[in-house]
Structure 1
């Protein structure tokens, strides 16, 4: 070190060597820089190619379930492919739902413009440090971008997740430019998944509480927002204690944000959990054959009139009276038991094994288990065996 400062010739020699090194390998450095720029251009185009178009941004179209109504206003059935979702306006959503959502998911929602840059950068650095996405840093608008435009794919790698985060960042800014805060909250609450096949706050209030969204109480609002953190993990019917704990956290956050008093929160915590178990009419509703007839009629008209009964959220009003239909169903149930006994006296399934086999096979293939299973033959065998065991236990009939 002394020689460097005291000997000018030595310093010059070192500088020449350094200059010679960079000069010697200047083409490699230049090539690496050009390659880096090309990779950045390709990656930028890749990011842009996955963004929603301007038309999609300005006119988002989430999948909505079609509803079939009776003449007295009752829902007889719904048609949807994968998402049971109904749309409600912002004014129909209770303020307690909005307060619970903002307190829990994005307390700075009204201050940011879709993203919080420093939080996003901090999260990305943490993710790079751990070589995986440990921290999401998603605002409500970013979550909306992900859900509304399908930016998230199954089985994402770390690269895919990082790319998706950048797309969410860009899309969120565009959403904030095109919509008001109220419109963003409205779209978010109509697209988010609540579990049990319910997409959107309207479907969730019907599934979990059998009521319209406008009728939700503060406690019910807090519970539905609590579910969002993990619809399966916090399913309040399957895991009530987990759901209660998460709900209590939502209430505490609402108190911290000044959107709920401690007295109100304590009162809600003391109330027993209660959920809808209105499954008396069965999964297909009170008039399943009638609803299926409507579906077939709608499918025939779909191409002619240019609508999709599974995605366009149509409202179909019929002449069927749900009250009269319930009376009819009850009358059938009352007389069917008597008729079944008379039938059993003159009919012996052991003498009709081929017919029984066909009926069991056809019935098994109409079940949800069959439609969802990859190994359909094994499902058919299991369901047929269960049906035979049920008949043996109930009627003393043995069928191999």
Structure 2
């Protein structure tokens, strides 16, 4: 019996040694093709270029990846806590791989085997750095083993703070935002220092799958994931239960920041600056170089110049009469929906589209184009206003079949369903004046009165 036990023990030991040798050869083969993790020391990600006016106000941002790189010391503890709670609560304690988390994931996956459920992962932040910077996202065991090996090596070569810094500045958040600083601006129009617990938790929920937790398409799912992150922050001791409950009661509060130009009336100037930067330094410098550009544009003078030109064009155009409405829609039902589909003027914010609901000898009753929520949906409220006969005086001379006609009543000019441009009268709540887009175009030449230079 003892000989039999010894026989089987010898066979088992031999098989174990053969398996170990096979694994060693396999891992040795994989390590030959591993990328050089030392490139992380020279990491220079694409960063947003920002263009400023002469007074320092932001005119525009340009980037392929909307990112502002932040050193780890500039990232608040609550933000770091949210990401570690969501992705790797033992980050500062493990050597690159969380053995406990890995074992737990293996058990769960074995229990779910054959059930059709998605396999649970156990990647640490260090492993995600290895994957995002040095490997592909292929779902293969070979890639996973390489990821683990690289995680061990990265941990030996870099500090925990440096690894976390790389992670927080590289990850993709959706909406074109990369890195936590870019995400804070994109989703909440805030710096990372201004983020609340709820906002930080929502951002921390996004790297798992930005589109899965889209703030408008999947709002309920996004709130559920955010609240789970908040609970993890409470469990890990980063926030109190009271703070966590208060954060979970808050709405998502996402206010996407628009792209392109931010300074009103400076769009054409900004575009010329963009072209000059590309001509001098190339597209990569503009869209990836993180340049900080200061221009000569004075925002106050720019507004005055724009107003002077606008008034001149309007005066010239209105002397030639009214050419008719923008379009015509059905107002028998909810007029806000078809009116919301009509495109207005983005560069003339003083004007808004409206639809004529009633016309009489005294003037017009109009319905204002509904505003849009941050989700893109129209608001449900419908706002009405009036245009008096005096506030559309120039339109009393309008065109019918190409001939100029003098009208006696606004009802002869416009009828219910006509879509028009209007501008709110100064000091009034619901009184508006009729406007029309001039056919004549104009340009402005700025000249220094002292030197005569353009």
Write the deviation string for residues 88-116 of structure 1: whole angstroms up to 9, x where unpaired.
12222121111111112111101112223
C-alpha distance in 2 between matches for 1:54 and 1:333: 58
348 and 227 in structure 1: CA distance in 2 versus 1, 3 angstrom threshold: closer
The aligned counterpart of 2:397 is none
Secondary structure at 1:316 match in 2: strand
- SS of 2:286's partner is coil
Structure 1 residues 274 and 123, CA gap change in structure 2 (3 angstroms):
closer
Distance (whole Å) between structure 1 residues aligned to residue 145 and residue 274 of structure 2: 41
CA contact (8 A) 1:66 1:79 kept: yes
Residues 54, 204 of structure 1: alpha-carbon distance in 2 compared, 3 angstrom cutoff: closer
Structure 1 residue aligned with 2:86: 104
Question: Match of 2:51, SS?
Answer: strand
Aligned to 1:144: 129
Residue 320 of structure 1 pairs with residue 320 of structure 2: no
Out of 68, 74, 80, the residue aligned to residue 57 of structure 2 is 74
Kindly indicate whether the alpha-carbon contact (under 8 Å) linking 2:325 and 2:419 is maintained by their aligned counterparts in 1. no
Structure with more of its chain in strand, by fraction: 2
Q: Give the distance between the partners of 1:327 and 1:343, measured in 2 at CA.
A: 25
1:92 has 2:92 as partner: no
178, 192, 198: which one aligns with 2:157: 178
Q: Measure, in 2, the Cα distance between the counterparts of 1:165 and 1:139.
A: 12
Matches within 5 A, 1:267-346: 267-276=246-255, 279=258, 283-286=260-263, 287-302=266-281, 308-322=285-299, 325=302, 345=322
The Cα of 1:264 is off from its aligned counterpart by 0.8
Normalized against structure 1, the TM-score is what?
A: 0.64
Q: 2:411 maps to what in 1?
A: none
Alignment of 1:213-232 (within 5 A): 213-232=192-211
Alignment-derived partner of residue 61 in structure 1: 44
The count of aligned residue pairs is 308
CA contact (8 A) 2:37 2:154 kept: no
Does the 8 A contact of 1:119 with 1:137 survive in 2?
yes
Q: Does structure 1 conserve the Cα–Cα contact (< 8 Å) formed by 2:61 and 2:261? A: no
Deviation of 1:335 (Å): 7.8
Query: What TM-score do you get using the length of structure 2 for normalisation?
Result: 0.57
> How far is the alpha carbon of 1:80 from its aligned partner?
2.4
Find out whether 1:238 has 2:222 as its counterpart: no
**What's the CA shift for 1:259?**
1.0
| CA displacement 1:49-79 (0-9 Å, x = unmatched) | 3x33255132122222222223333332222
Contact 2:70 2:181 in 1 (8 A): yes
Q: Distance in 2 between matches of 1:250 and 1:144?
A: 21
SS at match of 1:85: coil
Give CA deviations for 1:104-150 in whole Å, capped at 9, x if unaligned: 211110111222356557867959x779982322101111222233x
Among 159, 165, 168, which residue is 1:189 paired with?
Answer: 168
Is the contact between residue 96 and residue 151 of structure 2 (CA under 8 Å) also seen in structure 1? yes
The structure richer in helix per residue is 1
Question: Which residue in 2 is equivalent to 1:249?
Answer: 228
Per-residue CA deviations over 1:335-388 (Å, capped at 9, x if unaligned) read 877777678857999xxxxxxxxxxxxxxxxxxxxxxxxxxxxxxxxxxxxxxx
Q: What displacement does 1:273 show?
A: 3.4
RCO higher in 1 or 2 (8 Å CA, sep ≥ 6)? 1
Q: CA deviation at 1:209?
A: 1.0
Q: Distance in 2 between matches of 1:124 and 1:174?
A: 23
SS in structure 2 opposite 1:244? helix
